Structure 1
């Protein structure tokens, strides 16, 4: 019979040590799950924020255009129903703008609105210059361009004071031309639904999306 001592059997980890190991693994798994969940939520939350901001910006833009149109219409009342000339339209309309007390920036704040990066300003249509808003006193131009077809102002990122361009009547090819002039400065999670605002000679404020001009 050999006197060589038997090798000791490996000791089994205690239940307490095993429990601590399991807790560490569970903690790491929990951290990983939470991290992945946060990484998934961040872009979703950012898009929700941008959509909310876009809707707020559109509301501000509509308020701006409504007040500018009212000022243009009041100007027209003093000038035989005619809208101001294009070269000085911003300066001429500024004196007719009115805002409630404590409006940040005062009435002049209506001449600039929020966009998705830079602020937007407003560009006047050369064809609106001298246009007669009074339906009872139509001239040849009003007979050829109905108020509902004449864009007076559009939004434009970085537009300068008194900026003006030719915007064709909104019929036929003129509609496609407008699509090329707009910069769709209000975000949408769907790029096709990015939006710009315009105001027509009849006072109607319309939202136009990229999708409106895709055929």
Structure 2
């Protein structure tokens, strides 16, 4: 009886971890991906003109019930995704030197980029959303330009951009494989290349926006 009870508990625990892993993977893509892509597109408008960037930011800030939307569809999913991600970082072992396979290195970089991305998002949200609201400051082209004039902030945003886009692109591959959307070695390798192309493209888009602010 004791053995049967232990096996039942183990099965429940395995199902629980399976569900949490799936939820963690899902939240990394939906709806967080929409938030990331919206940011990249909005910031890229700065390469066209400051006026277009300001118009887009003003439109986003005028959305009804924006605070509730940000909490329910951005902050909450991001928090759940980050908490389990920190657990994975804590329990996972680093064996890249014993098994120097590409996917093993990608898993290692995914954990490392997760930590940097989390710090970047927390500071970014605090500075541009919380602090600006507390002091009644507007978010516009000039305010971002003034921030980018500081070399420390500029470096911070470049590093944050690269780690965030990589973490999302590599996580998109993990999501597609773990959910059984892409099956087979050739298909998975092809998808990984597409994801890395997305990482390169989105990074170039972000760097171009940063360059527009510092010119």
TM-score (norm 1): 0.33
- Higher normalized contact order (CA 8 Å, seq sep 6+, divided by chain length): 2
Normalized per residue, which structure has more strand? 1
Higher helix share: 2
Q: TM-score, normalised by structure 2?
A: 0.33
